[in-house]
Amino acid sequence: MNKRAKLEKVLGDIFSDKLLDNLAKHGRIYKFEEGTHIISRGDEIEDIPIVLSGTAKVVRTDDKGEEHILFYLNPTEACTATFSICSESKKSEIDFILETDAELLLYPVKLMDQLTKEFPSWRYYVCRNYNNRMKEFLETMDTIAFMKMDERILKYLQKASEALKTSVIPVTHQEIANDLSTSRVVVSRLLKQLEREGKIKLRRNRIELL
């Protein structure tokens, strides 16, 4: 399948034919392995990554080196953080990491203004991505403000399950603790509690939602 046909298959319901032509002409499609850092904190952004297949996560790393997941990205989605960085020519403040093997469209940042000016479907796409991320941000704030830690852990697992499209989530107790800014001991204790309640099943470096 050529580049234009692949883009139409994934993005044809979102973008106009002329925009797809532009993306095919100037963008590049690459396959990457799970765990690849497409963007790291401090990088100068040269390309806007759009997920064509697989799952990515956008992570914020604090000054102590601890990672905190902001949101997941599935096929057809792009990271809104790269939009804002592009518009202000700043260095990245996030990490864009592949949660699974994935295929990405990388589109040159220097041409983004052209997309915004010429293609209404691109402007709508950017706005939709911003709206989706804002909803997730508000949901995260509600989780932090109003949920107990066991509820936050269960919500975390549910969101990971939805993003990865599997009920068996490859994650360690320490990774959950890092993402939720708590201790591994607390996470392990509450996971055992959730298992006793029949909500999850603990496996080695994996957790199954029941």
Would you state the pLDDT for residue 197? 92
Same-domain check for residues 41 and 128: yes
Would you state the pLDDT for residue 87? 56
Same-domain check for residues 188 and 98: no
Q: Which of 142, 172, 197 is the last residue of a domain?
A: 142
Same-domain check for residues 134 and 198: no
**pLDDT over threshold 80, residue 95:** yes
Tally the domains of the chain: 2
Same-domain check for residues 106 and 168: no
% of the chain residues with pLDDT over 70: 91
Same-domain check for residues 123 and 42: yes
Q: How would residue 179 be classed by pLDDT, with cut points 50, 70 and 90?
A: confident
Give the predicted TM-score (pTM) of the model.
0.72
**Does residue 34 contact residue 101 with C-beta atoms inside 8 Å?**
yes
The CA distances from residue 6 to 9, 55, 124, 174, in Å, are: 5, 17, 21, 38
**Residues across the chain:** 210
Residue with tokens 């979102």: 14
Same-domain check for residues 37 and 62: yes
List the domain range (segments joined by +) for residue 197.
148-209
For the chain, give the mean pLDDT.
87
Q: Residue 45, Cβ neighbours under 10 Å: how many?
A: 20
Same-domain check for residues 20 and 96: yes
Q: What is the CATH number of the domain that holds 47?
A: 2.60.120.10
Q: In this structure, what is the dihedral angle of CA atoms 89, 7, 96, 200, given to the nearest 10 degrees?
A: 150
**Does residue 88 contact residue 41 with C-beta atoms inside 8 Å?**
no
